Structure 1
Amino acid sequence: MAAGKSTVAQLLAERLPKSVHLRGDLFRRMIVNGAAEMGPVLSEAAKAQLALRHRLACDAARAYIEAGFAVVYQDILIGVSLKDVAERLADLDPMIVVLNPKADVLAKRDAARHKTGYSVDFPPEVLAGALERETPRLGLWLDTSQMTAEEVVDRILRA
């Protein structure tokens, strides 16, 4: 949260000729009743819903690709989730990009947003630490702490 995923994904998709910005969190927001709480510790129901969200996003990405679109799939993929999604899409040879700004930058960005995601019980250090400790080093990892969204997109396109 507050890493710049949505902004960078939108800007990247806008630079591609026929493209889709696929927001993984839309699948969570479609749940009307019974949505599990997503936070620093996930219940079994939350883990199952997160896995469903990732599977649905991968299925949607595949359908858009089959229709001739370039897909910029954006989501929070930490730990085994990144590996699982990468494996699910492996036959498509996806470019994986991980935005990894420092925790203090996440806190500053989150405080400046109208929708805050962090709290005293869920500080940015939790996700930043999990990303560093638990997430396999797949793809291009960028410390975007001192980069603008446009600079991040330029770096991705150069890769």
Structure 2
Amino acid sequence: MKYDSRLIRRPNAQRPLRRTAWGFVTAAFWLFYLYLWAPLVTFVLWVLGINTALHELYLRESHIEPFLLFVLPLVALACAVLLIAWAEYNRFRFRGKDRRRAQADVPLAEIAVALGADAATASALGRGKVTTLHMDEHARPHGIGLA
């Protein structure tokens, strides 16, 4: 298969403003797509009687249940407070302590064995910042092109 740059997307190469704008455009079209499904979903829920259950449980006689109005926001607030408290506790506990250890370098011979290539190919991969790895029909490397 021939290399085709259109198949590879690099969103990090775009400017953040452009990437964010296209994210909003994508979200708007997904919302519109979901809106198009609303009549079918409403019909299925009506057939299953979900609309009746909603009215009986939550909207009886067009009144909002006081439990939903007062308790659920309190539960959400309590969850937010607990999450922030836990994050602050961990920040206080682990501040200034770097517990991560450096990883040992993998030997070139082990990389070559994992790739199914020779040591020269593995070494060239380690030296190059941007490389093109040429593979044969059995997905084994047989050459490197440095960019």
> Which interval holds the TM-score relative to the shorter structure?
under 0.3
What is the TM-score normalised by the length of structure 2?
A: 0.21
Question: Which fold has the larger relative contact order, with Cα–Cα distance below 8 Å and residues 6 or more apart in sequence?
Answer: 1
Structure ID, larger Rg: 2
Q: Which has the higher helix share?
A: 2
